[in-house]
Structure 1
């Protein structure tokens, strides 16, 4: 379960939803229940451990906490290829996927016809080559950051939390309960020479399968080994080493001459195993030579779960940690082992950090003494939590074992554990910064020479961070990046880089100034850039460059008027999809070019035929790879918004409600609603429309969040809307003007995220496409400003956000040079 940074050269990158953004399953049409696919193709007439030794708040006492049940049960265990290399990740339960720069050689692309750096990706964090040749990096944590921080568990224990409370904090929604554990089979993968060899002792006996009849071993031998000569288990041979130093076949009389062959010592309870290095490792229980279809045998250790955990708990967590932390570690390790992570058909889990570190009972030294891999503190924690495991209701009503991921240090913020693992949540971790933790926060170097060597680029000139997971400081952990430069002949070249790939270019602890997680930022002077074209259609097309070819869905709206567009931006955020603009009767050339590049699987047109004609819709259909086009429309803007809201399930945490008679509040709210995957509805100032009221009634959210003050949405309307919630309550996000309201909305996002997206608060198109880009893809607010100045509210918002980069949507006619110059003063 630990994740060794030193072994990350063979690792996979942690890719967890929403870290790895996948296009959700399409949503089917319905009017009274939440559909799962947006409309049909017919057009209505109108719409992802590293231990502390190698280097994680308050909770309830019963070991449980509220959490939304995931949509599906975890996948069934998968039998891994026993001959495949051990990967330093948990790939059995959907946590990871391969990244090209971690497995195999990174792929470098050379564009021979390009001899200058192209424009950066819209919205990317852009870091030119530093003058001294090394990027200054600030980061936090050691390991993947999913689930429990081991240092955090220690900090929580020292803060007075019990192990139940620690587990509830790191695995919210799980329940601590007791289950029988019995014995466990451990693949001893460090015994990798294909032969099982043990030392002879007076009490040693041999058998076939563990628990079967035992046989006394013939006398006159000092060691025993089992080998195989073919793909048949009957080719196994038991040999003894004579006192003369000769190996000879030595089957006990009457014993079946076939694998498996098991060694045990009823009198001593342990067996000494010779590792390929010559070390004698002592294991409790039984050691079994297991045939696996080749001439290379596997060694499997069968022993009681409690004995296994004595070694694991000491290996995974320093014995000096708080007793409650050790207990939490024991429960997490027991649960994880029972889950069978990293197992095969012949063992339940392995002995490396790809599963959980397990070193057996100890090492027998050359002088006969024993260095123990068990400790009284760890053993006490294991015994005190006997049979305790964490379970979770995955939606079937039957509690199943949770997959209790953990790592050394979260850096102060956990990240999510993927679809189907609702108990592996992203949240601040105040306990991780315990005084003894050297990696809760750190400074590091990322030399360009290391990047050049890793990615095969003659001279690196720029790094772009394209995507983060959205959880914690700086926008979260780095997921995707691009390393760029030139060949020796001057041609532009670039390579995709995962966050793990950048980390491995100079990894800690192998390098004292290295990176120990993907949770980092590059400390460099920030930049202000524009995302702009010659008009609103071109600007939207430029913004869409943040998405690559093969985009799952693109939303298209009328660029000449705002009503239909307002809620389209929030819905696009659910799919992390771009919004493009069109004219009612023609598709602008820039939009056509963007669609050719994006090559989407489907297009959703928002608005009726008066906004986007049937002919335009049919032309747009031709740009999809599946001929899938949906129109979502209603009789007016309120009905259209309600139509989009029909694709959200009932019982959401909140629904956002904004004025449909003006756009600023809804634009600011669209980024937040899209980020949170919550519906956005529109209303008149003085009354709810029939469609809005019906949508509110069906959604039955816990609360209504009203965007803007009473002059935008009256108190009477807010109270009427609240009547359709399960709590009967509403709250406002409002300021004295549109910029003040925007600032209140932006404050709902975590502080310290980068980049920032700024658009005019006096015109809707640029902010519209920016809201989808900011809230959905990047997880940051859309910041509104005046055309010729930065308002106080805008300045306050950006100061809180503290961005490394700012992107201004639109040209000087939208946000002029005076305002842009002021924005530069607000960079981190």
Structure 2
């Protein structure tokens, strides 16, 4: 695939479709490593730009971006309603064109190809480049053989090849072959029935007629394979009529219909010669090309995108593969292989990346990559810890015009895409939390009016906004979802409350940041902070809300929130002593799939360990908090949720056996202790560190709960908004807010005293520089005078 290694399956496609600068039938003309074997090979200028074609498919994993919806019309409403809490709000510009600033090209998961070039020029070897972009993987050598490529470019249902000296035919690849008689210029295989025996081999005679020809010994049935022991290649006619040269064998494959599939069988190394050149400009650093070759080889051996008929395909849905080259009308060859790419393939022969997914056996990694990360990679989801978010210092290499860019997003394009007569406002509701501006856009709302003046809106994704004006099809277009809108309000510019009459109502109000059709909702006892800690941290994995309940009764506000959210499933954290079976049964009935999971142990430590058991092994970090008091862990829950990392609980002076067992399974690189030695002793921290791969721990701690919070907040990138503030004196509002802030918005939860803004809180607000502040809870939790004091910290 171009610019990305697809992970799980192409059915989970992100709808990106930037246009190619040239098609496969208008190739870049490049030199061949084996030019002596071909006549008149065209040699190119090696300073060609990176191919502006990117991976169309993303890695859909938790958390998932929403599905775009058609415009919803609300009759009787003729004015824009109040923005959603915490949204970035951008009113329609006077000229009707939103100005956009962004970075990167592609999804930003795994390796940046420009970054690999930059790293190579900075002196990194290909092994070091791969270790940086796929941390935790191991570079090892495996035996490789042949591979089967489904040639979707040959889409006419027949397999048609040129007659060349030495061409032979057989049935299955590797079986007996038979010479083809002279007097024919082309050969084709076609079928008129749904049975393999309906296949016919025909030759094109000098008179221009197709005649059935069956060499003696050849079984009259598909598969039928063409190869050339003398040339090692076969010329395949594409539907356009142009001959494309392929190494190895071309096989007409019957699939139970009257349309045949052409499959190319060839050594993996020969396949990679074409792929590596198609995926990365040959002018890139030699170490970058080697890293590309390893990534492409790893993907190919995974068989991703394959079927029963082939291992992988030839399009960007798999890996870009164009064969050996094309044969021009004058007999010359335009090569799709190059000496630089071939050297990289040969130098890394057999090298692949593997990863221990927790089974104790190393398996092939999912080596995703994109053209440019814009300076920060993003996560691929649970189970792929080596595809983690991190700053990318190498992406800003000279020549990378898409490292940072400006673009235009005309309201007229949004109107056309979302079926809104006049767009008046765009709200960015959710980002992935990694990098500038809060990261890549996941969810937005496009709002406006119908021709009759009624309010209408549509749910948009970051991909959808990009597709409204995509680059390079449009010179002023967007090339990733990593962007911000310049100018406009960008937020409400106010300090507001998210509050209800009690903790249950406040949690329900906070859940309004999520729309209907939420994938999962976490529910915990409103009087039990240890379970709420674990739930708030885990909710960040799914970007899910946390609602509160009583043990034997579901408050009306929680019921109303569940009815509005219509979740697919609900997760109850805590045993029957926290949430009764009767309450759980009723919650199950409020889901759209009748799906409920209860995660609970014999005590708070066991429950936290049970929640952590859902994370895969080989975590980068595990957070460890005091299970007997909540202040230090309040801010930590948002941090754990933001990083999609486990949070475990401990006693101050003793590590419980269930916590130790879970640490042993998780095998983190490090343990981060939340709070000082009175919360978690050094002895406990050192014991926990024995289960890490580095043998180390570090503390996030201050002299009091506010200073600890400030140190935790400093782990988030600066300059993100909005800010969420909750009382440090009680847990419910802060933990409900932790799921909203850390999980959904990618910002810290900040703690304040009820009657004042402590200095550490002011410092954290200054670092965050928000345009809007949301306070969790009513005046009993945070007074009105404190609300007024918070206004001084708005940007």
For residues 150-191 of structure 1, the C-alpha deviation after alignment (integer angstroms, 9 at most, x for no partner) is: 111111111111112222222223222222222222222111
Distance 1:167 1:554 in 2: 37
Distance 1:96 1:246 in 2: 58
- Name stretches of at least 5 consecutive residues in structure 1 with no aligned partner: 16-50, 57-86
Q: Which of 171, 176, 188 does residue 139 from structure 2 map onto? A: 176
8 Å contact from structure 2 (residues 232, 248) kept in 1: yes
User: Bigger shift: 357-366 or 237-246?
Assistant: 237-246
1:147 matches 2:93: no
- Name stretches of at least 5 consecutive residues in structure 2 with no aligned partner: 16-48
Distance 1:334 1:648, change over 3 A: closer
1:226 matches 2:182: no
* Other-structure match for 1:429: 392
1:593 matches 2:550: no
For residues 569-600 of structure 1, the C-alpha deviation after alignment (integer angstroms, 9 at most, x for no partner) is: 45655665434456799765434422433456
* Other-structure match for 1:457: 420
8 Å contact from structure 1 (residues 558, 607) kept in 2: no
Deviation at 1:414, TM superposition (A): 2.1
* Other-structure match for 2:347: 384
Deviation at 1:543, TM superposition (A): 0.4
Distance 1:760 1:275 in 2: 68
Distance 1:765 1:417, change over 3 A: closer
1:543 matches 2:510: yes
* Other-structure match for 1:2: 2
For residues 385-406 of structure 1, the C-alpha deviation after alignment (integer angstroms, 9 at most, x for no partner) is: 2222222333333333223222
8 Å contact from structure 1 (residues 755, 780) kept in 2: yes
Q: Which of 259, 268, 287 does residue 250 from structure 2 map onto? A: 287
* Other-structure match for 2:625: 657
Deviation at 1:722, TM superposition (A): 3.0
1:247 matches 2:247: no
Q: Which of 97, 105, 116 does residue 134 from structure 1 map onto? A: 97
* Other-structure match for 1:578: 545
* Other-structure match for 1:739: 706
* Other-structure match for 1:678: 646
Distance 2:189 2:716 in 1: 61
1:758 matches 2:740: no
* Other-structure match for 2:738: 771
Distance 1:341 1:96 in 2: 22
* Other-structure match for 1:89: 57
User: Matched residue of 2:235: which SS?
Assistant: strand
Distance 1:574 1:234 in 2: 52
Query: What is the 5 A alignment of 1:140-539?
Result: 140-524=103-487, 525-527=489-491, 528=493, 530-537=496-503, 538-539=505-506
Distance 1:259 1:802, change over 3 A: farther
For residues 651-689 of structure 1, the C-alpha deviation after alignment (integer angstroms, 9 at most, x for no partner) is: 98444334956x543422332344454335476xxx75x
Distance 2:760 2:397 in 1: 36
Deviation at 1:783, TM superposition (A): 1.4
What TM-score do the two structures reach when normalised by structure 1?
A: 0.79
Deviation at 1:330, TM superposition (A): 1.3
Distance 1:745 1:254, change over 3 A: closer
Distance 1:822 1:513, change over 3 A: farther
What TM-score do the two structures reach when normalised by structure 2?
A: 0.82
8 Å contact from structure 2 (residues 63, 541) kept in 1: no
* Other-structure match for 1:780: 747
Distance 1:12 1:111, change over 3 A: farther
Deviation at 1:758, TM superposition (A): 2.2
1:809 matches 2:779: no
Distance 2:563 2:61 in 1: 32
User: Matched residue of 1:311: which SS?
Assistant: helix
Deviation at 1:331, TM superposition (A): 1.6
Distance 1:2 1:765, change over 3 A: same
8 Å contact from structure 2 (residues 650, 656) kept in 1: no
Distance 1:137 1:225 in 2: 52
8 Å contact from structure 1 (residues 90, 354) kept in 2: no
* Other-structure match for 2:50: 52
User: Matched residue of 1:383: which SS?
Assistant: helix
Q: Which of 608, 612, 618 does residue 648 from structure 1 map onto? A: 612
Distance 1:283 1:770, change over 3 A: same
User: Matched residue of 2:635: which SS?
Assistant: helix
User: Matched residue of 2:188: which SS?
Assistant: strand
Distance 1:376 1:409 in 2: 24
Distance 1:263 1:589, change over 3 A: closer
Distance 2:303 2:545 in 1: 41
Deviation at 1:720, TM superposition (A): 4.7
| Count of aligned residue pairs for this structure pair | 738
Deviation at 1:617, TM superposition (A): 8.6
Deviation at 1:201, TM superposition (A): 2.2
Distance 1:698 1:110, change over 3 A: same
Deviation at 1:125, TM superposition (A): 3.0
8 Å contact from structure 1 (residues 608, 631) kept in 2: no
Distance 2:499 2:194 in 1: 66
Distance 2:230 2:2 in 1: 34
User: Matched residue of 2:739: which SS?
Assistant: helix
User: Matched residue of 1:725: which SS?
Assistant: helix
Deviation at 1:619, TM superposition (A): 8.0
Distance 1:183 1:624, change over 3 A: closer
